[in-house]
């Protein structure tokens, strides 16, 4: 890359355009789709490069320059909340020299040579929220959005345990607390593991997982994810009862907010620098991700004197950790086969310490990624722990490539069973077509079947399932339920062709552990409908979808009959189930071996019908309703939940099938479309009257 000093104006213009485009794409991916397009380091590099070029060619600053933006516009399907005070962002620094410069500039601005106290706080790598309290009661929550307008996530925030809903002690009448929502590293790993076993796309890092979990239109899904918060600043307050950031933290604690235990008041530059060093040392051992440190002038009076630059305060700065990278060698590229047959390439690395963690594998994502980066066995590569946890290959050091190395050829057959592995159009993933004849898939399916959110059978862990599979003891979920009989002692004639298993004789087992296993299995012979549907391991059907299906079909019999008849109308009408998912579900039931397994299972177990509390006698039961505009008496989620509990279907868009459009303030195109289609439009009050 050319040094900024040597760029011609034409080149500079070209590059600014390129950077604006890349960063806009990255912003959309990050803020709206919760899936990153660039790594943090790549993003930061572009941002710095952009600033450098703009500093040299101020006349070329674009109207859409990334230096003028905070975040991305909000996604439209959430209600919008306008922040009374904008949620700003922080300037970034990357070195101790820049830190010293920052402290100097603060002193210069205040015209003092004395030390200034700063609060040094870990920079939590999550997403910021604003929570509004009226007379101590939580009333509204928002994301940052573009800094001016955020998304209404009131219902989602309510599901976060560590966010106090009622504050204790003396509280200003109006109090808006801001902070960060995050997912712990452990919960992130568990969630990804689950997603992987469900054949779903995994999250790249805990921050994306937190964002994806928080910004769910169905707050029930947010509730299932273990999110937490740290509070660190405020927005609108009717009465400021604190004079320093340190004192603010005392108040936060007294009110019941979680405050980061590593926040530290620093009185000298040396203390600030030391706190940064210390944070770097404990970073890997913290249960959540941080991406640097934030320094804030402790005195609010001084903060007020310092004021703001265009989008960032002059009294605070973010000191980012350098991306944790290291160079190592790829010893082998392995292909893992998941439950739904997805082939995932994994690089076995020469083990190396990256920022305090020994890394010996890196994910290569998929075959396109390998091709794009031209990753080969024997290559020296730069690896990075993105978002602190999952190691990835950033780039290959081509100069170090051994002579005679060959391009990696992604297999077109399954490395586990030899069946064809095909890649459907528009799919990034190649899949084994072996189904249950593929041992890898069969094992993963059994593991999924007994997993915590499915049958939840204690005592059947991965290791035992693998052993039992390879010894032919459990080759399908059905075999779990005949285990006791086959063990010997049960019905003598049931399995007269095979010798009793006598599991109690196995190494490390005993009578007691075998008994416990049978007890655990028998306890699950009666199972709820959502769990059973989830346990089947249908591609794309996770716990939330399983619950939706259960709710809409009521019994497994109804669901299965429709699916076998390929009758998907009811299915795709469910809010949250799309055509692609319906296709996967129907395909599952079209497989002879799946039906066989299900029938055998149903002979062993009882699937409970789904008890539904819906009031089907309400005037809107069976009707399709659409909410549009800003509602005043209830949040969008509340309105939706209410309508569902009264037996209505809630749809996101107006069509011929819509019965009512409930129109709030500032309703836009949906109301217009409803008029055009001659659909009944009612106000929020009329809706409340209707369902009273
Ligand atoms: S203070 C005007 N404190 O970093 C100052 N932000 O780049 C507002 N963040 O949007 C932010 N930890 O999402 C502040 N202890 C902390 C933080 C923190 C993480 C995030 C926050 C903010 C971003 C700024």
Distance, in Å, from the CA atom of 388 to the CA atom of 383, rounded to the nearest integer, reads: 12
Q: Is the pLDDT of residue 600 over 70?
A: yes
- Cα 461 to Cα 189, 292, 436, 467: the distances in Å are 17, 38, 19, 10
Nearest CA to ligand 1 atom 7: 90
Q: Which residue has the higher pLDDT, 624 or 203?
A: 624
Count of Cβ atoms closer than 10 Å to residue 459 Cβ: 14
82 CA distance to ligand 1 centroid (A)?
Answer: 19
Residues 514 and 504 sit within 8 Å (Cβ to Cβ)? yes
Find out whether the beta carbon of 90 lies less than 6 Å from any atom of ligand 1. Answer: yes
Q: Tell the residue number behind the tokens 């499915």, with chain if given.
A: 454
Q: Which span out of 67-71, 216-220, 466-470 was modeled with the highest average pLDDT?
A: 466-470
- Residue 565: burial class (beta carbons within 10 Å; 0-12, 13-18, 19+): exposed
The ligand 1 atom at the shortest distance from the C-alpha of residue 144 is 10
22 CA distance to ligand 1 centroid (A)?
Answer: 24
543 CA distance to ligand 1 centroid (A)?
Answer: 33
Q: State pLDDT tens for residues 100-152.
A: 999 999 999 999 999 999 999 999 999 999 999 999 999 999 999 888 899 99
Q: Which long-range contacts (CB under 8 A, 24 or more apart) does 643-647 make?
A: 643/691, 644/614, 645/613, 645/614, 645/615, 646/614, 646/615, 646/618, 646/620, 646/621, 646/691, 647/614, 647/615, 647/616, 647/618, 647/620, 647/621, 647/622
Q: Where are the beta strands (DSSP E) in 528-647?
A: 606-607, 624-628
Find out whether the beta carbon of 121 lies less than 6 Å from any atom of ligand 1. Answer: yes
Mutate to test the pocket of ligand 1, among 206, 258, 294 (most ligand atoms within 8 A of CB): 294
235 CA distance to ligand 1 centroid (A)?
Answer: 13
Find out whether the beta carbon of 292 lies less than 6 Å from any atom of ligand 1. Answer: no
The ligand 1 atom at the shortest distance from the C-alpha of residue 127 is 13
Find out whether the beta carbon of 303 lies less than 6 Å from any atom of ligand 1. Answer: no
Find out whether the beta carbon of 291 lies less than 6 Å from any atom of ligand 1. Answer: no
128 CA distance to ligand 1 centroid (A)?
Answer: 7
Distance, in Å, from the CA atom of 223 to the CA atom of 202, rounded to the nearest integer, reads: 19
Q: Which long-range contacts (CB under 8 A, 24 or more apart) does 306-315 make?
A: 306/106, 306/109, 306/110, 308/88, 309/91, 310/68, 311/68, 311/70, 311/88, 311/89, 311/147, 312/88, 312/89, 312/90, 312/91, 313/88, 313/90, 314/105, 314/106, 314/109, 315/106
Point out the least confidently predicted range of 50-64, 156-170, 599-613, 630-644. 630-644
Pair of tokens at residue 594: 């799946």
Distance, in Å, from the CA atom of 199 to the CA atom of 177, rounded to the nearest integer, reads: 38
Q: State pLDDT tens for residues 243-274.
A: 999 999 999 999 999 999 999 999 999 999 99
Distance, in Å, from the CA atom of 79 to the CA atom of 70, rounded to the nearest integer, reads: 20
Q: Which residue has the higher pLDDT, 639 or 554?
A: 554
Q: Is the pLDDT of residue 589 over 90?
A: yes
Nearest CA to ligand 1 atom 18: 123
**What string of H, E and C letters represents the secondary structure of 169-183?**
CCCCCEEEEEEEEEE
583 among known catalytic residues: no
Q: Is the pLDDT of residue 75 over 70?
A: no
The ligand 1 atom at the shortest distance from the C-alpha of residue 123 is 12
49 CA distance to ligand 1 centroid (A)?
Answer: 23
Residues 154 and 140 sit within 8 Å (Cβ to Cβ)? yes
Nearest CA to ligand 1 atom 9: 123
End-to-end Cα spacing for the chain: 67
Nearest CA to ligand 1 atom 17: 123
Distance, in Å, from the CA atom of 420 to the CA atom of 27, rounded to the nearest integer, reads: 38
78 CA distance to ligand 1 centroid (A)?
Answer: 23
Q: Is the pLDDT of residue 216 over 90?
A: no
- In percent, the amount of the chain with pLDDT more than 90 equals 56
Distance, in Å, from the CA atom of 549 to the CA atom of 61, rounded to the nearest integer, reads: 52
Distance of CA 93 to the CA centre of its chain: 27
pLDDT given for residue 34 in this prediction: 63
123 CA distance to ligand 1 centroid (A)?
Answer: 6
Catalytic residue (choose from 68, 80, 107, 123):
123
Distance of CA 100 to the CA centre of its chain: 36
Distance, in Å, from the CA atom of 70 to the CA atom of 89, rounded to the nearest integer, reads: 7
User: Which element (helix H / strand E) includes 597?
Assistant: helix 592-604
Banded pLDDT at 388 (limits 50, 70, 90): very low
Strands 92-93 and 316-320: parallel
pLDDT given for residue 580 in this prediction: 84
Q: State pLDDT tens for residues 78-101.
A: 888 999 999 988 998 988 999 999
Distance, in Å, from the CA atom of 298 to the CA atom of 103, rounded to the nearest integer, reads: 13
Which residue, 326, 327, 344, 323, is CA-closest to 335? Answer: 344
Q: Tell the residue number behind the tokens 């760029």, with chain if given.
A: 7
Q: Which residue has the higher pLDDT, 45 or 20?
A: 20
Mutate to test the pocket of ligand 1, among 43, 129, 180 (most ligand atoms within 8 A of CB): 180
Banded pLDDT at 380 (limits 50, 70, 90): very high
Q: Residue 201 phi/psi, 5° resolution?
A: -70, 135
Find out whether the beta carbon of 34 lies less than 6 Å from any atom of ligand 1. Answer: no
Mean pLDDT value across the chain: 88
* Mean pLDDT value of segment 288-297: 95
Which residue, 6, 7, 98, 83, is CA-closest to 44? Answer: 98
- Residue 517: burial class (beta carbons within 10 Å; 0-12, 13-18, 19+): buried
Nearest CA to ligand 1 atom 10: 89
499 CA distance to ligand 1 centroid (A)?
Answer: 65
Distance, in Å, from the CA atom of 260 to the CA atom of 231, rounded to the nearest integer, reads: 8
pLDDT given for residue 390 in this prediction: 67
Find out whether the beta carbon of 232 lies less than 6 Å from any atom of ligand 1. Answer: yes
- Cα 136 to Cα 131, 132, 237: the distances in Å are 11, 9, 12
Q: Quick one: DSSP state of residue 655?
A: -
Count of Cβ atoms closer than 10 Å to residue 309 Cβ: 10
The 10 Å CB-count burial string (b at 16+, else e) for 199-220 is bbebbbbbbbbbbbbbbbbbbb
Count of Cβ atoms closer than 10 Å to residue 236 Cβ: 13
The ligand 1 atom at the shortest distance from the C-alpha of residue 318 is 7
Q: Tell the residue number behind the tokens 């836009």, with chain if given.
A: 668
* Mean pLDDT value of segment 407-425: 93
Distance, in Å, from the CA atom of 672 to the CA atom of 657, rounded to the nearest integer, reads: 16
Banded pLDDT at 56 (limits 50, 70, 90): confident
Find out whether the beta carbon of 313 lies less than 6 Å from any atom of ligand 1. Answer: yes
Mutate to test the pocket of ligand 1, among 30, 89, 127, 279 (most ligand atoms within 8 A of CB): 89
The ligand 1 atom at the shortest distance from the C-alpha of residue 92 is 7
Strands 92-93 and 431-432: unpaired
Find out whether the beta carbon of 89 lies less than 6 Å from any atom of ligand 1. Answer: yes
pLDDT given for residue 33 in this prediction: 64
Find out whether the beta carbon of 180 lies less than 6 Å from any atom of ligand 1. Answer: yes
Q: Is the pLDDT of residue 49 over 80?
A: yes
Q: Tell the residue number behind the tokens 């806009």, with chain if given.
A: 24
């Amino acid at each position: 890359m050319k040094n900024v000093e040597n760029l011609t104006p034409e080149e500079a213009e070209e590059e600014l355009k390129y950077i604006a485009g890349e960063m806009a794409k990255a912003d959309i991916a990050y803020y709206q789709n919760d899936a990153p397009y660039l790594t943090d380091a790549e993003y930061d590099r572009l941002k710095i490069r952009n600033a450098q070029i703009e500093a040299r060619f101020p006349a070329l600053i674009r109207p859409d320059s990334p230096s003028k933006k905070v975040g991305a516009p909000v996604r439209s399907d959430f209600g919008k909340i306008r922040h009374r005070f904008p949620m700003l962002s922080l300037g970034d620094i990357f070195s101790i020299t820049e830190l010293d410069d920052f402290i100097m500039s603060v002193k210069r601005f205040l015209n003092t040579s004395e030390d200034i106290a700063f609060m040094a706080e870990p920079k939590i790598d999550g997403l910021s929220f604003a929570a509004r309290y009226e007379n101590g009661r939580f009333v509204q929550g928002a994301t940052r959005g573009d800094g001016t307008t955020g998304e209404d996530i009131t219902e989602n925030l309510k599901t976060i345990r560590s966010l106090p809903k009622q504050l204790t002690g003396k509280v200003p009448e109006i109090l808006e607390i801001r902070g960060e929502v995050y997912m712990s590293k452990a919960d992130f790993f568990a969630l990804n593991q689950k997603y992987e076993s469900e054949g779903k796309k995994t999250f790249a890092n805990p921050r994306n997982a937190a964002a994806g979990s928080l910004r769910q239109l169905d707050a029930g899904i947010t509730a299932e994810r273990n999110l937490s918060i740290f509070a660190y600043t405020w927005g609108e307050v009717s009465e400021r009862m604190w004079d320093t950031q340190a004192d603010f933290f005392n108040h936060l604690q007294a009110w019941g907010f979680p405050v980061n235990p590593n926040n530290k008041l620093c009185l000298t530059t040396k203390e600030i620098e030391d706190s940064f060093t210390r944070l770097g040392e404990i970073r890997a051992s913290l249960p959540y991700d941080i991406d640097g440190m934030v320094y804030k002038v402790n005195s609010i009076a001084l903060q007020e004197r310092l004021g703001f630059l265009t989008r960032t305060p002059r009294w605070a700065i973010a000191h980012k950790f350098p991306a944790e990278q290291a160079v190592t060698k790829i010893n082998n590229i392995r292909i893992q086969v998941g439950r739904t047959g997805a082939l995932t390439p994994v690089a076995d690395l020469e083990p190396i310490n990256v920022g305090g963690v020994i890394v010996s594998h890196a994910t290569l994502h998929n075959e396109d990624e390998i091709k794009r980066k031209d990753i080969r066995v024997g290559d020296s590569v730069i690896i990075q722990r993105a978002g602190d946890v999952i190691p990835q290959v950033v780039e290959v050091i081509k100069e170090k490539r051994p002579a005679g190395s060959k391009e990696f050829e992604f297999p077109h057959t399954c490395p586990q069973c030899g069946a064809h592995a095909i890649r459907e159009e528009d799919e990034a993933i190649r899949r084994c077509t072996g189904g249950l004849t593929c041992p890898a898939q069969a094992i993963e399916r059994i593991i999924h079947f007994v997993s915590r959110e499915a049958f939840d059978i204690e005592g059947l862990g991965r290791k035992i399932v693998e052993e039992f599979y390879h010894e032919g003891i459990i080759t399908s979920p059905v075999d779990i339920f005949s285990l006791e009989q086959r063990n010997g002692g049960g019905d003598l004639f049931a399995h007269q062709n095979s010798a009793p298993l006598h599991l109690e004789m196995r190494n490390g087992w005993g009578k007691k552990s075998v008994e416990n296993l049978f007890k655990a299995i028998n306890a699950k012979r009666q199972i709820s409908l959502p769990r059973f549907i989830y346990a089947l391991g249908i591609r794309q059907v996770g716990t939330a979808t399983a619950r939706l299906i259960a709710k809409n079909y009521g019994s497994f019999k109804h669901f299965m009959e429709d699916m076998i008849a390929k009758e998907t109308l009811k299915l795709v009408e469910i809010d949250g189930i799309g055509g692609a998912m319906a296709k996967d579900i129907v395909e599952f039931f079209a497989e002879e071996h799946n039906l066989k397994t299900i029938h055998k299972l149903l002979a062993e177990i009882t699937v409970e019908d789904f008890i539904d509390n819906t009031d089907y006698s309400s005037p809107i039961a069976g009707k399709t309703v659409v909410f549009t505009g800003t509602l005043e008496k209830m949040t969008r989620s509340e309105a939706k939940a209410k309508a569902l509990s009264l037996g209505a279907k809630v749809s996101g868009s107006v069509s011929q099938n819509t019965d009512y459009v409930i129109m709030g303030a500032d309703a836009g195109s949906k109301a217009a479309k409803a008029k055009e289609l001659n659909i009944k439009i009612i106000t929020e009050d009329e809706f409340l009257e209707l369902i009273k």
